[in-house]
């Protein structure tokens, strides 16, 4: 703000010079905006336009209405289910871990280990992550065999790594550490004075959490859920490597469409991608709104 003001002030003093400088300063950012237009705007805009065209290039809404066919609706629902479940579970588990680490009065090495580990694990995804879970919970995986030796057959009980719960368990491996990284500062921002003030007024620990801490943390928790939802919704590599494309979530469907036009209509494929962009836009807008709200208290 101060910069803006001084910039305007100087412009007013010497209008000629200011005018010339504005022309020049635009030029400085031209390469960036050209790049953004060519590789960000154009590809996404061409998908959006394509979803409103038929094969001859005429305007149509047919592709959008065709999104309501059962296989596509199911793919969106399954994608949302995986994203929603891993976002909620991830925030819950990650939040408890962050709470334990920050407020659990644990020795320092817990934190010294958990933070860098979370950084690594939140970036450990794709093919290696999928394989780690195959080696753990696959049909001949370590835990599966171990449980079988103890007389408990996971796969007879209906578990399958290459299905909804298997994929969710795998996604949680990068979702939970992300939560730990995001929520640690939030828990640290809870001032001890607030707790002391509540206690001196006679509040119990539970009352303090319900009436003071949780309301303050709520925007941060909600924005974490939203971020995780987006994080899982766009994930392709892990799902592809784990299920080989057999689990019908939207990114996998788009991949199959790129490879072999499984929908038998390229424009319907564009509409599929457009729907995904819409949902991600909604996620981003909601996220930044919640972020602004949580920044009010947690500085």
Partner 1 sequence: MKKRPSLVAWLFIVLGTSYFLLPLIATFLFSLRAKKDTLGFTAYQRVFADSSFYATFRFSALMALLTIIASMLLLVPTVYWAYLRHPRLHRLIELVSLMPFVIPPIVLVFGLIKSYSRPPVILVQSRGLLIAGYMVLTLPYMYRAIDAGLRATNVKTLTEAAQSLGAGWPRIIWQVIVPNIRGALVNGAFLTFATVLGELTLAQYLAWPAFGPYLARISQNKAYEPAALTIISFALTWVIFGIVLLVNSKDQQQTQFGGTH
CB of 222 to partner 1, least distance (A): 17
User: Alpha-carbon distance 212 to 201, whole Å?
Assistant: 13
Q: Residues 42 to 81: which contact partner 1 by CB under 8 A?
A: 42-44, 46-47, 50
10-39 burial, b if ≥16 CB within 10 A, otherwise e?
Answer: eeeeeeeeeeeeeeeeeeeeeeeeeeeeee
Q: Is 238 in the site for partner 1 (CB under 8 A)?
A: yes
User: Alpha-carbon distance 113 to 115, whole Å?
Assistant: 6
- Crossing angle of helices 266-295 and 214-233, rounded to 10°: 160
User: Quick one: which segment of 65-73, 93-101, 202-210, 289-297 binds partner 1 (CB under 8 A)?
Assistant: 93-101
Report the sign of the C-alpha dihedral through residues 162, 163, 168, 171, in that order: positive
Assess contact for 150 and 157: CB atoms under 8 A.
no
Among 12, 15, 32, 108, binds partner 1 (CB under 8 A): 32
State which residue, 88 or 132, has the beta carbon closest to partner 1. Answer: 132
Q: Is 35 in the site for partner 1 (CB under 8 A)?
A: yes
Q: Residues 143 to 172: which contact partner 1 by CB under 8 A?
A: 143, 171-172
User: Quick one: which segment of 60-68, 150-158, 159-167, 176-184 binds partner 1 (CB under 8 A)?
Assistant: 176-184
DSSP state of 273: H
Nearest to 66 by CA among 274, 299, 289: 274
The DSSP secondary structure of 24-43, one letter per residue, reads HHHHHHHHHHHHHIIIIIHH
Q: Is 119 in the site for partner 1 (CB under 8 A)?
A: yes
User: Alpha-carbon distance 261 to 39, whole Å?
Assistant: 23
Nearest to 20 by CA among 28, 29, 11: 11
Among 28, 151, 158, 202, binds partner 1 (CB under 8 A): 28
Q: Is 4 in the site for partner 1 (CB under 8 A)?
A: yes
CB of 258 to partner 1, least distance (A): 6
User: Quick one: which segment of 70-78, 96-104, 200-208, 216-224 binds partner 1 (CB under 8 A)?
Assistant: 96-104
User: Alpha-carbon distance 168 to 238, whole Å?
Assistant: 11
Q: Is 124 in the site for partner 1 (CB under 8 A)?
A: yes
Facing residues of 59 across strands? 53
User: Quick one: which segment of 63-71, 150-158, 206-214, 234-242 binds partner 1 (CB under 8 A)?
Assistant: 234-242
Among 17, 36, 61, 197, binds partner 1 (CB under 8 A): 36
User: Quick one: which segment of 53-61, 152-160, 203-211, 247-255 binds partner 1 (CB under 8 A)?
Assistant: 247-255
Return the residue matching tokens 């974490």.
Answer: 224
Q: Is 219 in the site for partner 1 (CB under 8 A)?
A: no
Among 174, 187, 208, 229, binds partner 1 (CB under 8 A): 174
Q: Residues 255 to 284: which contact partner 1 by CB under 8 A?
A: 255, 257-259, 269-270, 273, 276-277, 280-281, 284
Among 75, 78, 85, 99, binds partner 1 (CB under 8 A): 99
Assess contact for 238 and 130: CB atoms under 8 A.
yes
CB of 144 to partner 1, least distance (A): 9
Among 240, 268, 290, 294, binds partner 1 (CB under 8 A): 240
């Amino acid at each position: 703000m101060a910069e803006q003001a001084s910039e305007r002030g100087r412009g007013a003093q010497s209008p000629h010079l200011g005018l010339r400088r504005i022309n020049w300063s635009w030029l400085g950012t031209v390469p960036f905006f050209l790049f953004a237009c060519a590789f960000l705007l154009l590809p996404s805009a061409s998908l959006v336009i394509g979803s409103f065209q038929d094969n001859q290039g005429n305007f149509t809404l047919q592709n959008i209405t065709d999104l309501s066919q059962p296989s596509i609706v199911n793919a969106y629902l399954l994608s949302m289910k995986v994203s929603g479940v891993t976002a909620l579970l991830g925030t819950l588990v990650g939040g408890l871990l962050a709470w334990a680490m920050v407020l659990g009065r644990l020795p320092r090495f817990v934190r010294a280990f958990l933070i860098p580990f979370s950084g690594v694990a939140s970036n450990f995804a794709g093919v290696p992550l999928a394989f780690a879970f195959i080696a753990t919970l696959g049909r001949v995986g370590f835990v599966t065999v171990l449980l079988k030796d103890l007389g408990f057959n996971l796969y007879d009980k209906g578990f399958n790594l290459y299905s909804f719960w298997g994929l969710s368990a795998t996604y949680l491996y990068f979702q939970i550490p992300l939560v730990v990284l995001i929520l640690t500062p939030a828990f640290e921002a809870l001032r001890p004075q607030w707790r002391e003030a509540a206690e001196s007024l006679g509040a119990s620990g539970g009352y303090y959490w319900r009436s003071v801490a949780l309301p303050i943390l709520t925007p941060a928790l909600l924005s974490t859920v939203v971020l995780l939802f987006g994080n899982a919704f766009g994930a392709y590599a892990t799902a592809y490597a784990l299920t080989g494309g057999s689990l019908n979530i939207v990114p996998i469907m788009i991949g199959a469409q790129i490879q072999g036009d499984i929908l038998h209509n390229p424009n319907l494929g564009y509409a599929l991608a457009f729907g995904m962009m819409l949902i991600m836009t909604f996620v981003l807008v909601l996220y930044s709104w919640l972020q602004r709200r949580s920044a009010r208290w947690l500085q």
